[in-house]
Amino acid sequence: MFKLACGLFSTPRHFGLCMSVLDLVCVFVSRRRRLYSSLNKCVVLGIETSCDDTGCAVVDNEGNILGEALNSQQQVHLRLGGIIPPIARDLHQQHIERVVGEALSASGLQPGDLDAVAVTVKPGLPLSLRVGLEYSKQLARAAAKPLIPIHHMEAHALTIRMTRQVQFPFLVLLISGGHCLLAVARAVDSFLLLGESLDDAPGEAFDKTARRLKLRNLPEFESLSGGAALQAAAARGDPTAFPFPFMLDRYRDCNFSMAGLKNKVLRHILRQESLHGVEADGLIPGVYDLCASFQWAVARHLCQRLQRAVEYVALRELLPPERRILVVSGGVACNSYITERLAVVCAEYGYTLAVPPPHLCTDNGVMIAWNGVERWVVRAGVTTDLDSVDFQSRCMLGEDGRADVEHAQIKCKWIKDGRLLGWE
């Protein structure tokens, strides 16, 4: 275009006119580029109230966190000895408007600037889910924006795609206070469930064990969650000091069970209290060793179920051989001891281990907003019929493939304990 213009306007006066025309063309192209960019960029606000944290974030499709706010109820529930749903609901209602306002304010955006509002609708505590959903509907209606219902565990599974270029499909292990799941993530809205907890989740097992061991009576642990306190205490103990059984060792599937381990740790506690005459607020002398042994028992169980899942994935050719990735997410993914054990399994089978940053593993508004972005891009579940959206306290993750895992009858040669422990 520059040569054409110079050919038409050969005199200095005409050349000046040529440059003016070029300037106009450049301005036009620049505006077209900005318009194209704005048309291809989306911004979603996400709200999370599935349990005891009120979270909100504004995220764009490039993975930028434009604004974020969180109100944690941890200290309240620590004092109460556990999460009490009506109290969790009341605290959500008390703080949700402020949390959403802070996230929007930090982003510099108004509700009208958003493309959509995303909210956790399943699974979770019914009283807590209701607060987030009702507020999200009010916000979406007021701003005339569509709503994107979010599955809490799917959001955990896809958070890694904010920080790393993880392509579908990939294997994902979700470990938290309420869930323990193994699945193949095939697409934004497509998951194949390989195994789930038959009873208790690892985070819940850690919290209850820490409470029964009375770790909060030690000043250094009094402000920590049960799982964080148990991990810190375990770092000072011997993981082989107390014996624990192999859970579900006769079942050739990928399901999990923490109930037996919880029962065994309780028997160890009762025996030690009786043996040493421990009463009231006292701690057993071997508390650090017991924490370490229990943590190791949970980690070993997770590794064994993962090992079978990896072999099943290979048998059914569910992942491309050149791109084997295990994503580990959820609150318990913050436990570095457990992820280090899982890394040994990954190394054995040629997998790459991918774990989101700790602040994105726990419940937060960012993961909900990001899942909303992912769904907005492929138009999965986006709706303007707000009255059609409801919450579910319980639901499955994706398509149930557990029966085929069991049918495959895969017998694993377990990785030696010494290698998992890092002693070999």
pLDDT tens profile 35-56: 323 446 899 999 999 998 999 9
- Amino acid, single-letter form, for residue 62: E
pTM for the structure as a whole: 0.88
d(C-alpha 285, C-alpha 341), whole Å = 27
Predicted confidence at residue 246, as pLDDT, reads 94
DSSP for 183-239, written as a single string: EEEEETTEEEEEEEBSS--HHHHHHHHHHHTTGGGSGGGTTS-HHHHHHHHHTTS-T
pLDDT digits (tens, 9 = 90+) for 190-202: 999 999 999 999 9
Among left, alpha and beta (phi > 0; psi -120 to 50; other), residue 5 is alpha
> Do the domains at 43-159+363-388 and 170-355+399-421 have one common CATH topology?
yes
Contact between 47 and 100 (Cβ < 8 Å): yes
Predicted confidence at residue 346, as pLDDT, reads 98
3-state DSSP call for residue 90? Answer: helix
d(C-alpha 299, C-alpha 305), whole Å = 10
In angstroms, what CA-CA distances link 102 with 61, 68, 98, 129, 132?
21, 7, 6, 20, 16
Predicted confidence at residue 285, as pLDDT, reads 95
Predicted confidence at residue 25, as pLDDT, reads 33
Class of domain 170-355+399-421: alpha beta
The β-bridge partners of 119 are: 47, 149
First to last CA, the chain: 68
Q: How many helices (H) and strands (E) does the chain have?
A: 16, 11
d(C-alpha 87, C-alpha 144), whole Å = 32
Q: Which residues contact 416 (CB under 8 A, 6 or more apart)?
A: 424
Q: What parts of the chain have a pLDDT lower than 50?
A: 1-39
Q: What CATH number is given for 43-159+363-388 in this structure?
A: 3.30.420.40
Please compute, for residue 47, the number of CA atoms within 13 A of its CA located in the half-sphere on the CB side: 33
Longest dimension (CA), the chain: 105
Predicted confidence at residue 17, as pLDDT, reads 34
Contact between 185 and 313 (Cβ < 8 Å): no
In angstroms, what CA-CA distances link 38 with 27, 31, 42, 43, 114?
16, 10, 8, 10, 12
pLDDT digits (tens, 9 = 90+) for 281-293: 899 999 999 999 9
Domain boundaries, the chain: 43-159+363-388, 170-355+399-421
